[in-house]
Structure 1
Amino acid sequence: MAVGAGFSFFPTRLSLNHPKATATATATVRTRICRCALKAAEMTVSITGATGFIGRRLVQKLLSDDHKVCVLTRSATKAASVFPPSAYPGIRIAELEDWEQCVKGSTAVVNLAGMPISTRWSPQIKREIMQSRINATSKVVDHINNAGADARPSVFVSATAIGYYGTSETNSFDETSPSGNDYLAEVCREWEGRARQVNEEDVRLVLLRIGVVLGKDGGALAKMIPLFMMFAGGPLGTGRQWFSWIHVDDLVDLIYESLKNPAYRGVINGTAPNPVRLSEMCERLGQVMGRPSWLPVPELALKAVLGEGATVVLEGQKVLPVRASQLGFSYRYPYVGDALKAIAKDLVP
C-alpha cells in the first residue's frame, strides 16, 4: 500500500495500528512539521536604503535572528564600507544590475531608499528628493511584478512619511486622514502611488508612514544633540508645533513585525503613541543631557539655513498610530522622555 511505504524503513513490517509504528510515525510527522516551520520562519530580505540610519539597524536585527539580507545599492563600495564582509558574512551586496536576481530570491523586500530632506531646498534638490524615492520604488516594484509566482517575495514593506498629511498645529491625523496639499504631501502621494503598483494579489503591501526617528546615530536628533552639548539647544521656531516621533528601535521592530505578521497590511503610521510639542521634546532632551533648553532657534535663522525645507521643523503635525495600536504592537518607548533617556545613556558620562 502506498500509505505503508512511509514505514518501509522499519526493520520488520509493522501494522499501522502497532503502538511502535504509531509512535514513530507521529515523531516523524512532528519532525517534518518542525522543519517546515523552521524553513518558513527563515527569511531572505532585500533592502534598499540599507546603509542609512534605519536600514543599518534593521540589517543588524535580521542577522541577529539568523535571517539573510541582500543589500540593494547603487554603490557596492559604500555598502561594503558599512557592512564589511568579515563582520557581516550573512550579507549579499547587489548593485543595480543584480537587484532583479536578489528580489526574485527573496522572501520579502523593504524599501527605505530616499535622499534626506533636511537640507536647503533648491528646485534641483526638490526634484532629487522626489526622484530618489520614485525611481528606487519603481525599480523594486517592477522586479517584484516581473518575478514568477514561485519566485515572487510574499511581502513588500515600503517606507513613506507622515509628511503625507500636511502640517497643522490643531488637527490630529491617523491612517484614514486625507493627504495635505504641500510639497512633502505631494512627494508622499507619488511615493506611495508607485508602491501600490505592486501585484497585491500575490504580495502583501505595507506602507509605513514614518515620523521623526530618534536615535543617537542619525536622524533629526543627531543634528540637535551637538547644539545641546554646546549649551546652545532649545526649541526651533515657536516650539508649539507638534513633534510626531518614534525611537529607532521601535521603528525597526515595527518593520520586522510587518515582515512576519500577515495581519500587517496597508497604511500603518510609524510613530509613537504620544506625540509632543517640540518645546516639550527639547525640554526633555535638555533634562536628560543635563543641559539648558531655553535658547530658541529663531525661524529666520532656520529659513536662512534650510530655506523652504524649514517647514519640516517649523510646522509639524500630530500623527497617531491607530493601526499599530489595533494590531497590538508593543512599543519599547511610548513616551519621549524614556526614549531620550535611553539615547542619552551613550552620550553623557
Structure 2
Amino acid sequence: MSDMMHSSAFHYQALTPDLILDAIESLGIYPETGLLALNSYENRVYQFRSDRQQRYVVKFYRPERWSDAQIQEEHDFSAELAEQEIPIATPEIIDGRSLHHYQGYRFALFPSMGGRAFEVDNLDQLEEVGRFIGRIHQYAKCKPFQYRETLSVQLLGDESLQWLKASGHVPPGLETAYFTIVEQVLAKSKQLWQAVDTPLIRLHGDLHPSNILWTPDGPGFVDLDDAKMGPAVQDLWMMLAGDASAQRLQLEVLLESYEEFCQFDARQLKLIEPLRAMRMIHYNAWLSRRWEDPAFPMNFPWYAEEKYWEQQILGFKEQLAKLDEPPLSLLPQY
C-alpha cells in the first residue's frame, strides 16, 4: 500500500491543460470554453462547454487508486440507478465505453448537472432526499458489488491508524497522546460495530450534503467515487447536523420518507457514532497519504502544524465520550 500511495501522488504533474484538452478531443468532443477546475482533491475534475453548447464535466481518476473493474462497476451502478429514474450523475457512453484512457490517465465525461447547494436544514428538501435514498437502497439491495470495497472498521480504522503510525506526520511530542486516544476510540468503535449484525448493501458511500445538488426538479446526486458495500445508515448519517434535538428531527424526516420505499433496520442507528469516529481517523490518514501531491500542502497547510493535532486529540476525546452515550434514536417508533 505504501508504494502505491506515494507513487500515485506524482502522476498529476503530467496532467497539463493541453493533455486534458487532447484527451477530451480524442472522444470527438471539442471544448469551446476554458477548463473550470471543480472542488476535488482526490481526482481532477473540470467543467467546460463544448462547441455544441453542451456543458460537460470531465473527471480524471487518481492513478493507481481504483482498478478499471472498480471504476466500471461505479459507472454501471450509476447507469442502473439512472434507469430507475434516480437523478444521478452518469458518465456518457462514447464508442461503447464510459471509461476512457489517454496517455496513462483514465477519465470519464459527464453531462454537467446544474444546481445550487442542498440545504440540509431545509426539512422539505431533506424529506425529498430521504425518499430518493430509499429508492436507491431498495434497488441497490438486488445484488452486491463484485469489485468495490466493503466498509469496515479494518478498512477505515485499522489501516488508517497503521498508516499514521508509520507516516511521521504526527508531531513527535504529541504522538503518545494522539495514538492513545485514537486507539481507545477505535477499540470502542469496534465493540459497537461488532454488536450490530446487519445486511450490507451497495452504497453511494460518501453521501455528505456537498454531493447533493438542488436542481429545478429536486435533488441530484453526484460523485460515486467512494461507492462500496456497507450498512444503509452510512448514506444517511452525514445529513445530520446540530444538537441532539435537531439531529433527531432531521433523522425523523429522513427515515419517514426513506421508508416509503425501503425498510430501515433501526439497529443501525448504533453505528452512527462509530462511523463518525472512523471517518475522523480516515480523514487524518487520507491527508497523510496524499501529502506528496502538491495540491495538499497548498490547500491544507494547517495539517503540518502542531495546533491541528492538538485539536484532533481534543476532538477524539469528545468522540470517545459520544461513543459511550446512548445512540440517537426515535422513540417509540425506533
Larger of the two Rg values belongs to structure: 1
TM superposition score normalised by structure 2: 0.27
Q: Larger relative CO (CA 8 A, sep 6+): 1 or 2?
A: 2
